[in-house]
Amino acid sequence: MAQDPAAKDALILVLNSGSSSLKFGIYRRGVSDEEPVLTGSAEGIGRNNGTLSIRSSDGTALVEKGRIHESQSDALTALAAAIQEHIHAAPVAVGHRVVHGGPRLLTHQLITPQVLDQLRAAVHFAPLHIPQALAIITEAQAIFSSAAHYACFDDAFHRTMPEVASHLPIPQGYFDAGIRRYGFHGLSYESLVRRLGSRLPERAIFAHLGNGASLCALRNGRSIDTTMGLTPTGGIPMGTRSGDLDPGVFLYLMRNGKLDADELEDLLNHQSGLYALSAGESDVEALEERAVRKDPLAVLALDVFATSIRKAIGAYVALLGGIDLLVFTGGIGEHSEHIRSAATAGLEVLGLTADKIQAVPTEEEKQIAFHCRALMRQPT
């Protein structure tokens, strides 16, 4: 018999994988919300400075190792061993953050063979993200074979966007084939909506600023527009991603630079953004330190980043017909006062006053656990 998802000891494992990292958490249902039993991350996967960190609910370090994880699979195996040692119980469900569901996977759902087939068919929509998600799902299903596995899609939150926001100005046949604005960071935005609850006003703008960065305009807690598009490469400039570019740039690079699709993909995702503007640095904290020393390239990179955020905020204030709340989240949004200040400078003219600006931590992993618990209760 399946375990009651509301039972106190019904544990949910959440896996949030990145290109070189794996964030995770084990959650138990508390009185009113999901409560972490342990959290942690494997960072620098595949690099010599790889680390594994696992903490208990009170912040006590259970595992702190400097070691090399050759792959996401190695990191997941180490996590499974830590769960067995420190919790002595297996999770009843595993929630996977999947960045892109393609045009057919529209809602958070149980992972079935059919869902995996649909994900494989959608690889061309996110060739950097979907194969990685498929690999970690396959490995987790083997390690946690008795658990139900759920896919929580980062683009699902933006399904409420009207067609005027999602429909790209290209021939209809491409839209019918799934070429549209999807938007991402949806699990982060969902977590903010749920956390703010009744305190969320009608007109809000959320800015998730990290190595990947986007903004979202919300009316009554629903996404009506967002800066990212078909893929997480679009929108504002990011750590190593270009953001939106004139399509003529791609034509030039193909014709004159002789770049093929794979080379373009690498350039736009790994060699652009702040990294390109600053000649080799994508970390905002490091750029801020360089800017204090009057490094002109660091100053330029930060100015471009902040200005692009400010332009997006201004556009969304116009779209919403005013603003009641601006929330910054993500590592940069939460911790960089410099970026928050620069991104909102001069926007008082649009009615954005200091009392309408907040920095709120994102809770993506908790949000995934919340979705999994709800999905487990649904009749099959």
Out of 33-47, 229-243, 352-366, pick the least confident: 33-47
pTM: 0.94
258 CB burial (10 A radius; 0-12, 13-18, 19+): exposed
Active-site position among 154, 244, 283, 324: 154
* pLDDT tens for each residue of 275-299: 999 999 999 999 999 999 999 999 9
Pinpoint the alpha helices (H) of the chain: 72-86, 113-121, 130-143, 163-166, 172-176, 186-196, 247-255, 261-270, 273-277, 284-292, 296-320, 330-335, 337-344, 364-377
In sequence order, the β-bridge partners of residue 327 are: 206, 358
- What's the sign of the alpha-carbon dihedral 339, 364, 156, 15? positive
Side-chain-side CA neighbours of residue 82 (13 Å): 26
Task: Report domain extents, the chain.
Answer: 12-153, 198-359
Amino acid letter, residue 284: V
User: Edge to edge, what strands does the sheet with 325-329 contain?
Assistant: 222-226, 213-219, 203-209, 325-329, 357-359
When pLDDT is averaged across residues 54-63 and rounded to a whole number, the result is 86
- Between 122 and 49, name the one with better pLDDT: 122
Q: DSSP secondary-structure letter at 211?
A: S
CATH architecture of 198-359: 2-Layer Sandwich (3.30)
* pLDDT tens for each residue of 218-251: 999 999 999 999 999 999 999 999 999 999 999 9
* Cβ pair 288, 338 in contact under 8 A: yes
Out of 59-68, 109-118, 358-367, pick the least confident: 59-68
Correct CATH for 12-153 of 3.40.50.720, 3.30.420.40, 1.10.287.3510, 3.40.50.40: 3.30.420.40
Is the per-residue pLDDT at 129 higher than 90? Answer: no
Local confidence band at 82 (pLDDT 50, 70, 90 cut-offs): confident
Instruction: Determine the pLDDT at residue 1.
Output: 39
Same fold, 12-153 and 198-359: yes
Average pLDDT, the chain: 93
When pLDDT is averaged across residues 150-169 and rounded to a whole number, the result is 98
Active site residue 154: yes
Out of 70-79, 172-181, 275-284, pick the least confident: 70-79
* pLDDT tens for each residue of 301-322: 999 999 999 999 999 999 999 9
Query: How much of the chain, in percent, has pLDDT values that exceed 90?
Result: 78
**Closest listed residue to residue 326, CA positions, set 338, 349, 343:** 343
CA-to-CA distance for 78 and 172, rounded, in angstroms?
Answer: 48
When pLDDT is averaged across residues 318-341 and rounded to a whole number, the result is 98
CA 315, 319, 320 angle in degrees (round to 5)?
120
* Cβ pair 273, 240 in contact under 8 A: yes
Is the per-residue pLDDT at 326 higher than 70? Answer: yes
